[in-house]
Amino acid sequence: MEQERAQKIFEAIKKDDLKLFSSLLTSPQDFQICFGRFPLLSICYLFESYKILSVYENRLLSVNRFEKIYEPFEIYKKFKQKAKKCLRLYVGSEKIVYPIEMLAILNEQRLIKDNYKKLFKNEEILNNITKIYNFNHKTKVVAEFTKFDIQNKKQSKTQKLLVCFVSLILFISSLFSGFSLAFIGINSGLGTKSSPITVSTEEELVSALESGKKNFVLDSDITINKELNVENFSGVIDGDGHTIELEYDFNDEIITNFSGIIKNIAIIIQDINKEISQNFAILTENNSGNIQNVQIYCSELNIESNSSEDIYVSIFSNVNSGTITNSTANIPSLSVTNKVSTNCYYSTFAGVNNGTISNCITGAGEGIFDTVDAGGIVATNNGEVSNSTNNMNLSQTSSSNEWNPNTAGVVLTNNSLISKCVNNGDISSVSTADTVIENTISFVFAGGIVCDNAGTISHSRNFGDVSASGDISYSYAGGIVTIGGGVVYIGGYIYTISERENNTFGLVEYSKSKGTISASSTNSEAYSGGVVAFNAGGIDHSGFEGNIEISSNALAFAGGIAGFNVMINSYYYMNNYIKNSYANAMFTRKGSLENVYVASVVGRIITNMNFSNNHYVQNSSFSCPVIATFGEGDQMSVNETMTDDDCGSTGHTSLEDISSEVLLDDEIE
């Protein structure tokens, strides 16, 4: 569903506008909309939309599957006020606040009883209902699959006297031996792997972190009120499913140098608004340890950089030399602004990854960047990123004449391996600079998975729209990769975007992109490719399905698989190829049409290359059947008569005609 219509549905619920709501939900699938963690019925309950409920409650009660879209911050803000302590139950993008849980949070006992059998139920929901009534309403719940009963807790006189007595004893003890109580608590274990020290209070957690090397386990949720920053930690912290909530004004990472293990824990931070002059991370500056099953939630993160040096902004770690696995970051509202001319990079899990990142998820939200390069998972990858997903929309705009915007769904610069990764967010890079600097060429890059690839990308998927635009800048948009091989070719000259070793060349294999790929430049060149925008590397068993838009008043190239292909020199000949791949592309051309070349497979090829067994779906939207132009150096000729056999390509009338050995499913095996 397009974001504009989704926003109108949310506005209708807020205003309880039944007429508008009815006009917007036109198909059965529309009722399955889930704004992040919140199904439509849950939002109607939260905003007390009685008119809508009077007509659609039964229809919405029957929904038992959901299609997630972005989560407006306004929903979270209102939900947070109502949920209170129960907010900890819904940390993580995979969580859903089911309607019966929302009713429990709102303490709508009658509605729960009336609709209990209709509401979708599972064991986790029943457990959550019990916790909600215990935490927020101080009542006992009997919740079973066919039975629901709420019993107000009543204390006997003896119980009340006992509570008062215990409270008095604890108060007196705290006056004389407050430190010893904490000391006794933190020493309820030996600190070994088999006998970890239990931690249940703020004081105990701080002592545990500062002790550095022992094994600790949380036995309750903890709220931290004082600033927490530890220089070094090499021990083990097992959250055991508990939550740490930071209630202070956040300034620095929790642990500067982390070489231990932290696992099974959720960290909640409400808001961060900060000006920085050095690297910024929430969890750790340097990770050489093992981060497992950690969820970080920050409702709103606003960063402004005035650093005089290159800087990284990350949620988990600025530099990862260890492992980060099975972890999630949820930042519904994110903005990072760079006020100076130094390089500034945002990435969710690591600025520089020299280790391993796997099975990690960036939750849905809006990431807005001003002169800040952004990658959904990592900025620079020198290690391995696998089985990880970005769900956040990432958009960068810059007005600086000295800045080349780069935005990518997973990794900005890949020097190593990316496998089985997915981007679901829309990716956008825009330069509004309008003044040419002498002897300088400006670029705008946007990539569904990677901007600059000098490594290997395997079995990955992009489902987000990708767009790059500029006025005076060369614009490049690629469904999987923007620049494959680390170079671009302009006017007969090769420009190095990133250094690469002789044994790396930029390979994309068994990967696929779907959606709209758009590149535009008012006064300069534009390149758009379904898989790679500008390819100097290899493409094998990869594909594209969707729309490709290309616009320029100067010169532009677009291809269903690659917008432009160039072989740097004979040394790389064996590594420069497009083979066993396919495209089902519909093209839109704008600008000076005589200089805008589009083709079903490749917009332009310079020099010979390995080009074989590629396939495309025939349609009337491209100007050339396979390759728009083929030339040596500055020579350029339109090859409208080039046949499929000449190019090793075969046209098809539909995707069903393409070999199953080439055609890729949306799901990753």
pLDDT tens-place string over residues 453-478: 999 999 999 999 999 999 999 999 99
**What are the tokens at 501?**
């070793």
At 52, which amino acid appears?
A: I
CA–CA separation, 425 vs 390, rounded Å?
7
DSSP state of 504: -
Measured in degrees and rounded to the nearest 5, phi and psi for residue 308 equal -85, -5
With left for phi above 0 and alpha for psi between -120 and 50, is residue 117 left, alpha or beta? Answer: alpha
Residue 387 within a domain: no
CA–CA separation, 340 vs 437, rounded Å?
18
- Quick one: pLDDT at residue 191? 76
Q: Torsion angle of alpha carbons 512, 411, 439, 566, nearest 10°?
A: -30
Residue 271 within a domain: no
- Quick one: pLDDT at residue 147? 62
DSSP state of 562: E
> Are 387 and 415 spatial neighbours (Cβ–Cβ below 8 Å)?
no
How many whole angstroms from its chain centre is CA 531?
20
**What are the tokens at 94?**
């995979």
Residue 179 within a domain: no
**What are the tokens at 333?**
């509202």
Residue 142 within a domain: yes
Residue 599 within a domain: yes
Q: What b/e readout covers 550-581, taking b as 16+ CB neighbours within 10 angstroms? A: bbbbebbbbbbbbbbbbbbeeebeebbbbbbb
627-631 and 543-552 as β-strands: parallel, antiparallel, unpaired?
unpaired
Residue 178 within a domain: no
- Quick one: pLDDT at residue 491? 59
- Quick one: pLDDT at residue 12? 94
Quick check: helix, strand or coil at residue 415?
A: coil
Range of the domain at 608: 399-657
- Quick one: pLDDT at residue 346? 98
With left for phi above 0 and alpha for psi between -120 and 50, is residue 459 left, alpha or beta? Answer: left
With a cut of 50, list the residues of the chain below it in pLDDT: 153, 158-159, 162-163, 166, 169-170, 173-187, 502-503, 570-571, 633-634, 641
Helices 202-211 and 157-186, packing angle to 10 deg: 10
- Quick one: pLDDT at residue 668? 87
- Quick one: pLDDT at residue 627? 85
- Quick one: pLDDT at residue 18? 87
CA–CA separation, 197 vs 220, rounded Å?
13
Measured in degrees and rounded to the nearest 5, phi and psi for residue 138 equal 55, 40
> Are 64 and 31 spatial neighbours (Cβ–Cβ below 8 Å)?
no
Q: Is the pTM of this model over 0.95?
A: no
Query: Where a domain ends, among 101, 119, 152?
Result: 152
* Total of domains in the chain: 2
Measured in degrees and rounded to the nearest 5, phi and psi for residue 492 equal 90, 0
Query: Where a domain ends, among 136, 152, 168?
Result: 152
CA–CA separation, 546 vs 584, rounded Å?
6
**What are the tokens at 248?**
């202070």
CA–CA separation, 581 vs 510, rounded Å?
9
Residue 112 within a domain: yes
At 149, which amino acid appears?
A: D
DSSP state of 638: B
CA–CA separation, 647 vs 491, rounded Å?
25
Query: Where a domain ends, among 127, 152, 177?
Result: 152
DSSP state of 308: S
Residue identified by tokens 């500062």 is 210
- Quick one: pLDDT at residue 163? 46
321 to 102, 127, 210, 284, 416: CA distances (angstroms): 41, 38, 22, 12, 14
- Quick one: pLDDT at residue 178? 40
> Are 272 and 305 spatial neighbours (Cβ–Cβ below 8 Å)?
no
Residue 469 within a domain: yes
Q: Which uninterrupted H or E stretch holds 103?
A: helix 99-105
Quick check: helix, strand or coil at residue 464?
A: coil
CA–CA separation, 533 vs 100, rounded Å?
48
The CB density around residue 99, as the number of other CB atoms within 10 Å, is 28
> Are 609 and 631 spatial neighbours (Cβ–Cβ below 8 Å)?
no
